[in-house]
Amino acid sequence: MKLLMHICCAPCTIYPLEELRSCGHDVQGLFYNPNIHPYREYRKRLDTLAQYAGQCSLPVAYDEGYDLEGFLRNVAFRERDRCAYCYRIRMHRTAHVAKEAGFHGFTTTLLYSKFQKHVMIKEIGESLGKEHGIKFFYQDFRVGWQKGIVRSKEIGMYRQPYCGCVYSERERFYRAQGIEKSELAGDSNSVNGDCSRASLL
């Protein structure tokens, strides 16, 4: 199949790309992640992916612009549901581009992380596939979690310490300070936070 793969970052790309290619699929990437904050972190991830893509001959489209404001407007006052929105907008863009460009299907590197909400990603991907009239290619890439970590370290790849959004970065700070989730119960902006550890490699 000719697949368009949404890419959240370079470390999470290693195993899914190797696995898909080993099965004979023609893979191209799309970097669309308006959730990432701050901008210097966004550039680090983009630049790391560009370097890796060049090394492994992976064609990648980089979405122009950095719509952080749009992301924040849509999650403000709905922080507990931010992960569902974040998954949906990124895979929605991927499905749209894949359909328009004549791909057979689309997938996402989000399926690689042990810390993402895997079932939610799968459900949203399948729903978007039906909505756009294109196949959502599902595979549980979590089985290659350790392999991807080892490989990223071998090649000296930048590995980010939090999922991407400002909320997950804040939760990383809280954990570093030893603040438990129970202590955040009175914080109206606190969230269940599973995805805040999504890219802790």
Question: Minimum mean pLDDT among 24-28, 96-100, 165-169: which range?
Answer: 165-169
pLDDT at 163 exceeding the cut of 90:
no
Which residue type sits at 191?
V
Across the chain, which distance is largest between two alpha carbons, in Å?
Answer: 51
Write down the pLDDT at residue 60: 98
pLDDT at 119 exceeding the cut of 80:
yes
d(CA 181, CA 187): 10
165 closest CA partner among 100, 62, 85: 85
pLDDT at 164 exceeding the cut of 80:
no
pLDDT at 40 exceeding the cut of 80:
yes
pTM, to two decimals: 0.82
- pLDDT tens digits for 51-86? 999 999 999 999 877 877 777 786 776 767 778 888
Which residue type sits at 200?
L
Write down the pLDDT at residue 115: 87
pLDDT at 35 exceeding the cut of 60:
yes
Model confidence at 200, pLDDT cuts 50, 70, 90, reads very low
pLDDT at 191 exceeding the cut of 50:
no
Write down the pLDDT at residue 155: 95
Task: Tell me the domains of the chain and their CATH numbers.
Answer: 2-157 (3.40.50.620)
